[in-house]
A and B are shown apart, each in its own frame.
Chain A
Amino acid sequence: AQSVSQHNHHVILSEAASLELGCNYSYGGTVNLFWYVQYPGQHLQLLLKYFSGDPLVKGIKGFEAEFIKSKFSFNLRKPSVQWSDTAEYFCAVIDYGGSQGNLIFGKGTKLSVKP
């Protein structure tokens, strides 16, 4: 079954620092990948998604992610973080094996940005 690993549990950065959050998935077939963000006390919102085409995907709020098939990775990046980016970030993949269309989430990475 598909699984998702997020390597960092908690990342602490200063404003203007660059961000990269790691995400790896386990299944090597066709994948659809997502990054969701959860601001404190709020629900999950979609940042960006990859289905096909250009492996470099641009999302909202200056975030981007790169799909590297050979590495089973879909890392999230932002060149310069802001205090308002403090949130928890979840990588997810659609599992077409067991339950079609079911999103499999990683454990999440908490990002704290110091002003």
Chain B
Amino acid sequence: DAGVIQSPRHEVTEMGQEVTLRCKPISGHNSLFWYRQTMMRGLELLIYFNNNVPIDDSGMPEDRFSAKMPNASFSTLKIQPSEPRDSAVYFCASRRAGGMNEQFFGPGTRLTVL
């Protein structure tokens, strides 16, 4: 089992550029979560999907952020345009059906916006 796969692991970009983060959930998991972790705010849920459908995006900070899940094995989180305050570690997590199941986290993408 490869676990949740995220790419890239590190991203450094300049303010105003578009950033795309990628996530491949564990096979057979049908819920996918995007989190952002910063020193100031801790771990925040941005959005989550059940069966590829966005269920709750209330954590998405602004319209600059968007997330898609075109199929069960792939999701993207896009920031356009990026700003220095978007610098954070972005985690993807997946889970099998049912709220009682554990979420498995990916290794994260460390984003730095200069």
Contacts and interface: CB of A to CB of B under 8 A. Distances in A.
Contacts of A90: 43
Contacts of B95: 101
Contact of A101 (B42, B99, B107): B99
A92 B66 CA distance: 25
Given A43-B108, A46-B102, A102 B48 contact: yes
Interface residues of B, number: 22
Which interface residue of A32, A44, A90 has the most chain B CB atoms within 10 A?
Answer: A44
A43 B43 contact: no
B22 to A, nearest CB: 15
Question: For chain B, what secondary structure do more than half of its interface residues adopt (helix, strand, loop), or is it mixed?
Answer: strand
B100 A32 contact: yes
Interface string B40-66: 001101001010000110100000000
A102 B57 CA distance: 12
B91 A43 contact: yes
Nearest to A101: B99
A99 B43 CA distance: 17
B27 to A, nearest CB: 18
Nearest to B104: A46
B107 A42 contact: yes
A32 B56 CA distance: 20
Contacts of A107: 42
Interface of B: 31, 33, 42-43, 45, 48, 50, 55-56, 58, 91, 93, 95, 98-100, 102-103, 105-108
Report, nearest first, the 3 A-B pairs whose CB atoms are least far apart. A101-B99, A99-B56, A107-B42
